[in-house]
Amino acid sequence: MAEVIKRKIQTGNYQTFINEGGDKKSSETIIFLHGSGPGVSAESNWKEILPRFQVKFHVVAPDIYGFANTDHPEEYPRNGAEWMKIRVKQVLSLMDALEVEKAHLVGNSLGGVIALHLLMYAPERFDRVVLMGAGGGLKEPTPELAKLANFHKDPDPVAFKNLLSWFLYDKSIVGDKLEEIVSERLELFLRPDVRRSYEENFSKSHLSDMLVPPSALKQMENEMLLIHGHQDRFVPIESSLYVMDYLPNAQLHIFKRCGHWAQVEQKERFVKLTLDFFNGEI
C-alpha cells in the first residue's frame, strides 16, 4: 500500500500542509477536516483512518488554517466569522491547486462546521458529506468545551492529559498511547506560532459565529451521514439532532460507549459505515 504523502501546497497567499494518498487521476476525492483541540493536526486526527480510504479514494487531509503546520497568520482575523471565511476559502483554494473539481467531505467537530459552511458558500463543489461530532447546532459551550477553549491560558501537562482523556468515553481504549498522544500534541501546541493562533482564535470567536441557520440547512441537498458518540461531552448529541431537523437528505448514526473521537473508540465501525456511505451502499 502506498504511503500517505505529507507536503505543503500554495493556497492563496500562504501554504497549507496536507496529508495526501490514493490515486487522484482515477479516484473520487475525500477531504478530511480535523477538529479544534490544542495541538491538533490532520495527522493526529486521521492517521489511523487515511490508509483505509486511500485504497479506493484520493484522500486529502489539510491542517486547517490556524493549526499545526499550515502557515500561520501574520495578521490575525478579527473574529470567528473571519476565521471561518478564511478556512472556507482555504479548502476551495486547495481543491483548485489540486485540480479537484468536486469532492466528498468528512468533518470532525470544527471540521464539520467548516463542511457545512462550505455547502453554504460553494455547494456545487461537494457531493457526499460525513459530519462526526459536528458543532453546527451547538448553542452553548459545555464545561469540557470551555476548558478546551481556555487551555492556552495555562497549558499544564496534567491538565492537558485530563482534557484529552475527556474526549473518550473509555480512555482504556487507547491504553498507553494516551501518554504518547499527550506528549506529541503538547509539543506542537507549545510552538509559539501554534499557541498564538489558538489564543487568537478562541479569545475572539463565539459559537454564534459558527451556528448554521435552519434556512441554510434546508437548502443543502447533499446526501449526509451524521455520526455522533452518545457520550460526547464536547459537542453533545443535541447538535446533530438540531441539524437533522432541517437537512433534507441525512441519516444519523449514534454510537453508544463513545465520546468525541468516534474514529478512535469505534474505529472499525466508523470506517465500515463511512466507506459504505461513500460507496453508495447505505
Rg of the chain over Cα atoms, rounded to whole angstroms, equals 17
Q: How far is CA 39 from CA 99, 166, 187, 231, 265, in A?
A: 30, 15, 8, 23, 20
User: Order of strands across the sheet with 250-255?
Assistant: 5-11, 14-21, 58-62, 29-33, 103-108, 126-132, 224-229, 250-255
Residue 186 and residue 182: Cα distance in Å, rounded? 6
CB distance 231 to 169 below 8 Å: yes
d(CA 61, CA 135): 19
Find the catalytic residue in 58, 104, 253, 260.
Answer: 260
Contact 105, 126 (CB under 8 A): yes
Listed in sequence order, the residues at least 6 apart from 239 whose beta carbon sits closer than 8 Å to its beta carbon are 134, 135, 136, 137, 138, 228
Active site residue 260: yes
Strand partners, 139: none
CA gap 144, 204 in Å, rounded: 19
**CA-closest candidate to residue 20, choices 1, 3, 36, 41:** 3
Residues annotated catalytic, as ranges: 260
